[in-house]
């Protein structure tokens, strides 16, 4: 962001600039020609208005848009600072009043650009309204108005001039920089800047009868609060950090939806799952061999279930989920019980026929590592050991854990995977080695149960539909098969059907998003008939509501 956009580094207003700023701020353009004293009375009127938490959403959009106009933001900042001060003056032990002040002070950080500042103002208004009880929900609700703000003609010129191709990704990056600078010293320095602005503006009304005395009392009130701020703002730091974390994650999620979401699509197409028998044939016969296949001895030998059972039983008694023998064997040495704490985001690669709410996930760090690989699909299949008949990929979903939440999971390196000897693949295998995470995302979690795993009742499994498919024409006929009935079919019978994700039930899960890795692994699949899916909710991108 260039220096011209750094409003908080701009010089203080002169009288002419103040007159223009007040006209924009109050929409009272007829008062621009008033006398000098009229301007100062006008200023006092503008900054004495209560910080109205119940402003209409239209007013929010307008106020935020005009606040990025040079000069107007200084008046708005002083108005907000005084409003926060009045709230604290009523009860200085009110932690949320100090958090509200902290939100205003963040807007005063040096070098904070007008565009980022405007976006934060909207988020902060909704967060203030939440009273600290539902910050993630408040951030979700604010997002609609952030988008409306960014689409305003006078705002769009800012970000278009910056040449930001991924607007929400860039906003998230700048807010992350603000988050990294957030500490008590930075807040106090911002408070000092705010006091300088306040003294400058209120100094303009010092000689006006009655108004001057009230302005002096306001300055003294704010100075008293500044003297006490060292102690009280320290307690506001954690809620402020959590608020910025929630904003960053929401902006990043919007960036995902804009850049790689399956949006505004009338039909989603894929070639269906790959039966194991055909997958094995293709793996054996494809020349050159797929890069994700390794040959020789296993590098990451699987954990032996019998050896691990005592540790598993102990962890289960402490609230960790159970693992079947087959699930244990998907881990190499290094399997451990871990409690993950929010905020964090987990990722799961899926195809159109895979459940979003299932057990297999990776951390954000591992997912970024995959995406940065020269061939992400090869890295995923090879290092997380996922056979093509297990998961055709093409899509991914995300699971959000909010600040203050935690879940107990199993984590460790993926073990090398071999097919059974009867399939005659010799020593061809998937290497493994990258860290995988297992927990059942279909299990509901609430603040009351501490986000612990509950008995398998009331799960939030995806809604699935099973179609009988004509492999020559691509025609699909919906059936009444349940998941249990489908799983009971033999592999040969199952090959007649395709499972399709109709709807993602778990509100914490967002997606699906496009991986960009394609839906096939072998050139031999390209002539296969393409299956056309209706625009089902489970195939079109949605953003979870986090709770």
| Residue at which a domain ends, from 227, 260, 293 | 260
Work out how many domains the chain is built from and give that number: 2
Q: Domain of residue 166: give its range.
A: 3-260
Which of 260, 276, 302 terminates a domain? The answer is: 260
- 224 and 291 housed in the same domain: no
Half-sphere exposure of 368 (CA within 13 A, CB side): 4
pLDDT at position 266: 66
Give tens-digit pLDDT for 109-151.
887 777 888 899 889 888 988 776 688 888 988 898 888 888 8
The whole-angstrom separation of Cα 366 and Cα 373 is 11
CB 119 within 8 A of CB 127: no
Q: Residue holding tokens 């064997």?
A: 329
Regarding whether 288 and 242 lie in a shared domain, the answer is no
Amino acid 185: pLDDT: 95
Assess whether 251 and 102 both reside in one domain: yes
- Same-domain check for residues 310 and 443: yes
Instruction: Report the C-alpha gap between 522 and 278 in whole angstroms.
Output: 11
Tell me whether residue 38 is in a domain: yes
User: What's the pLDDT at 239?
Assistant: 92
Q: In angstroms, how far is the first alpha carbon of the chain from the final one?
A: 34
Query: Which of 260, 278, 308 marks a domain boundary?
Result: 260
Do the domain assignments include residue 546? no
| Phi/psi-derived region of residue 31, left when phi > 0, alpha when psi is between -120 and 50, beta in every other case | alpha
- In degrees rounded to 5, what are phi and psi of residue 542? -130, 155
Own/partner pairs, 237-242, CB within 8 angstroms, 24+ separation: 237/102, 237/182, 237/183, 237/184, 237/187, 239/95, 239/96, 239/99, 239/102, 239/132, 239/135, 240/99, 240/102, 240/103, 240/106, 240/182, 241/179, 241/182, 242/135, 242/343, 242/403, 242/404
356 and 225 co-located in one domain: no
Residues 310 and 430 in one domain: yes
Looking at residue 50, its pLDDT comes to: 47
Q: Distance between CA 66 and CA 241 in Å, rounded?
A: 27
State whether 59 and 169 are in the same domain.
yes
Do residues 402 and 510 both lie within one domain?
yes
Q: Model's pTM, two decimal places?
A: 0.80
Residue pointed to by tokens 């924009």:
24
What pLDDT is attached to residue 128? 84
Residues 437 and 534 in one domain: yes
Sheet harboring 428-430: ordered strands across?
A: 294-295, 428-430, 417-418
Task: Report, as ranges of residue numbers, the positions in the chain whose pLDDT lies below 70.
Answer: 1-71, 132-133, 264-267, 444-459, 545-547
376-384 vs 364-371: helix crossing angle, rounded to 10 = 130
């Amino acid at each position: 962001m260039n220096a011209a956009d750094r409003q908080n580094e701009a010089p203080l207003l002169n009288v002419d600039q103040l007159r223009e700023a007040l006209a924009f701020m109050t929409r009272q353009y007829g008062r621009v020609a008033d006398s000098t004293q009229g301007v100062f009375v006008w200023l006092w009127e503008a900054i004495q208005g209560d910080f109205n938490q119940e402003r209409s959403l239209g007013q929010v959009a307008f106020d935020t848009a005009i606040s990025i106009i040079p000069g107007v933001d200084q008046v708005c900042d002083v108005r907000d600072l005084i409003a926060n001060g009045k709230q604290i003056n009523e009860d200085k032990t009110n932690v949320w009043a100090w958090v509200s002040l902290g939100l205003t002070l963040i807007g005063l950080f040096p070098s904070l650009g007008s565009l980022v500042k405007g976006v934060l103002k909207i988020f902060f208004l909704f967060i203030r309204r939440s009273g600290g009880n539902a910050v993630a929900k408040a951030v979700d609700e604010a997002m609609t108005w952030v988008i409306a703000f960014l689409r305003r003609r006078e705002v769009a010129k800012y970000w278009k001039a910056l040449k930001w191709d991924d607007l929400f990704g860039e906003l998230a990056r700048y807010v992350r920089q603000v988050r990294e600078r957030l500490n008590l010293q930075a807040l106090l320095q911002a408070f000092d800047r705010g006091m300088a602005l306040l003294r400058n503006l209120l100094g303009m009304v010092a000689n006006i009868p009655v108004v001057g005395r009230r302005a002096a009392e306001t300055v003294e009130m704010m100075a008293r609060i500044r003297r006490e701020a060292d102690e009280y703002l320290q307690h506001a730091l954690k809620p402020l950090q959590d608020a910025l974390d929630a904003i960053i994650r929401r902006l990043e999620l919007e960036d995902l939806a804009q850049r790689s979401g399956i949006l505004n699509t009338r039909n989603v197409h894929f070639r269906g799952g790959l039966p194991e028998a055909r997958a094995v044939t293709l793996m054996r016969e494809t020349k050159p061999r797929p890069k994700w296949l390794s040959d020789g001895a296993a590098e990451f030998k699987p954990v032996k279930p019998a050896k691990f059972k005592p540790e598993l039983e102990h962890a289960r008694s402490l609230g960790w989920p159970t693992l079947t023998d087959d699930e244990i064997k998907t881990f190499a040495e290094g399997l451990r019980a871990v409690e993950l704490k929010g905020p964090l985001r987990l990722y799961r690669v899926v195809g159109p026929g895979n459940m979003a709410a299932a057990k297999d996930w990776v951390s954000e760090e591992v997912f970024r590592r995959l995406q940065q690989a020269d061939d992400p699909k090869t890295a995923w299949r090879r290092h997380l050991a996922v056979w093509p008949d297990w998961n055709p990929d093409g899509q991914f979903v995300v699971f959000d854990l909010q600040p203050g939440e935690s879940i107990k999971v199993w984590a460790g390196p993926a073990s090398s995977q071999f097919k059974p000897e009867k399939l005659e693949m010799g020593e061809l295998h998937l290497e493994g080695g990258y860290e995988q995470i297992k927990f059942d995302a279909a299990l509901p979690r609430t603040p009351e149960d501490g986000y612990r795993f509950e008995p398998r009742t009331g799960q939030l499994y995806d809604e699935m539909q099973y179609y009988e498919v004509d492999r020559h024409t691509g025609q699909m006929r919906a059936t009444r098969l349940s998941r249990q009935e489908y799983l009971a079919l033999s592999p040969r019978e199952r090959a007649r059907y395709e499972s399709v994700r109709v709807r993602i039930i778990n509100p914490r899960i967002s997606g699906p998003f496009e991986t960009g890795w394609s839906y096939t692994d072998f050139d031999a699949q390209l002539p296969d008939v393409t299956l056309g899916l209706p625009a089902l909710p489970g195939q079109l991108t949605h953003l979870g509501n986090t709770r």
